[in-house]
Structure 1
């Protein structure tokens, strides 16, 4: 029986936030994905991380469109306005979601920009489907093999990523993320940010999105796969597949104060890139540099996208 004092869960339409962008759904890899898009030109596909959804890229959507790009921010499988399927949350399949969306948008390729989990999937897509990835920009996430090694061998990184170990418990993380109208979501974003966290209105928006039915469960499922598959054949096979080098120009962005992904863990991911690789460390920013200082982040990204021959 429903508690009459408990507010109803927000509908999926709660993520269809107004702005200069347009909203629509596209089909890819057996599921339906919500996208927000703005502008015309070469496609730049933006992939969000945890505990957010497409709206985390609101500043970059406008900046990229003004710079002459077709900017598209998608909700990953199970999050925001996209389908919440019962399975399919391993990174290889999530990367196929991403490349499937590129095809569904009618484009031959895209520049992928990923943050946090979205960065993990961007690395994966570039290795698995290189012909569909024109350029790669990753924020706040090491290469998957670098991440795996750091989580298993670096005690400080293992502690920094303690929330991932906590996600392995059944149902408890989902209840914690949705309790008190998603209060933990705001706490995590503030804790992981530098001195300039996203504004209160943004935090409230992320809280509402996490409380959409089943969204919290789908948001933690990829992390469950990452840990539980470490010694399983599928996890070992994925780790081997990630040995394939990335052959597209890569921009790696990181906040110097990121408490979740240590700079030491992220730095050095260029060893997996056999193409121009540029490392950019933002002083004084935390885990969400694209929101903490959207002007500096967007400027760095756009200048790199416009550079016809990005050097190392």
Structure 2
């Protein structure tokens, strides 16, 4: 049996800089690419479930070339960031991002998130509005819209609910994500991307890196704590208060992207929630599934460039 990877194993070399930043009481591993100018606007990139900063490698370099300071984060509990025993609720996660913006020396930022990372974008925009210029989401509807879709759409329940409920069990999901050198993570990735990308060398390399990152001690448990809080809080006062707060509409520019071949997030769910973000622009990314920012990175970066020019 192979030993678990060291957290520093996610610090891959490239045209970027690895940094440790303290915010909201813990240490975050961030990866930065930026032009040589101190006034470059900040763009913070937040990955999804069972992932890590590597998910944004294309946008890191693409946005830096366009003149932005792009910073990809290992979220709380992931990669080489700290893995505290608590803090996986919406309030704390938004505080993490707000703290990171300030710790990076900025007064505001554009937030970009995929799946769970997108939910953190929505939450930060509501709870810390002065720090957020705009948000961009990949396969991440507003949390209230997602909840409504799961309750009302049998088809969306079939694609989304089984894993979500499975992850509420004790211990078993951690074993599922890490056994077989993290094979379950590759299975989920392959299931949710388009067939053309899943046959590429880049897919194989990405799956290998994700399988290693989820096996870092504590990473699988922390990843699941995001899912567990989202479920268990529904019956607690903090969860009801959180969802009531999230129903407050936001007026900043919102770019919502979905791959045209995404079988996990349905198009009908993607379109929900206009009243919660009236300044939202919906974009379908061609030749992409649930990980559009990796499957068709050029198209996603071009849409981000348009948002950032607003």
* TM-score band w.r.t. shorter chain: over 0.9
Q: 1:269 deviation in Å?
A: 2.6
TM superposition outliers: structure 1 runs of 4+ over 4 Å: none
* Residue matched to 2:222: 218
* Residue matched to 1:296: 299
Q: Which moved more, 1:281-290 or 1:215-224?
A: 281-290
* Residue matched to 2:89: 90
Q: 1:299 deviation in Å?
A: 1.2
* Residue matched to 1:172: 172
After TM superposition, the structure 1 = structure 2 runs for residues 227-242 of structure 1, keeping only pairs within 5 Å, are 227-242=231-246
The one-character-per-residue Cα deviations of 1:161-182 (angstroms, maximum 9, x if unpaired) are 1211110111111101000100
Q: 1:285 deviation in Å?
A: 1.5
After TM superposition, the structure 1 = structure 2 runs for residues 1-312 of structure 1, keeping only pairs within 5 Å, are 6-40=1-35, 41-161=40-160, 162-195=162-195, 196-197=197-198, 199-274=203-278, 276-306=279-309, 308=310
Q: 1:257 deviation in Å?
A: 2.0
The one-character-per-residue Cα deviations of 1:42-66 (angstroms, maximum 9, x if unpaired) are 0000000012101100000000000
* In 2, Cα distance between equivalents of 1:110 and 1:70: 10
* In 2, Cα distance between equivalents of 1:283 and 1:231: 39
* In 2, Cα distance between equivalents of 1:284 and 1:55: 21
Higher share in helix:
2
**8 A Cα contact 2:250 2:277, kept in partner:** yes
**8 A Cα contact 1:50 1:219, kept in partner:** yes
* In 2, Cα distance between equivalents of 1:302 and 1:211: 34
* In 1, Cα distance between equivalents of 2:289 and 2:166: 21
Q: 1:199 deviation in Å?
A: 1.7
TM-score (norm 2): 0.95
**8 A Cα contact 1:259 1:286, kept in partner:** yes
* In 1, Cα distance between equivalents of 2:84 and 2:204: 31
Q: 1:298 deviation in Å?
A: 0.9
* Residue matched to 1:3: none
Q: 1:284 deviation in Å?
A: 3.4
**8 A Cα contact 1:130 1:247, kept in partner:** no
* In 2, Cα distance between equivalents of 1:269 and 1:38: 33
Q: 1:183 deviation in Å?
A: 0.7
Structure 1 unpaired stretches of 5+: 1-5
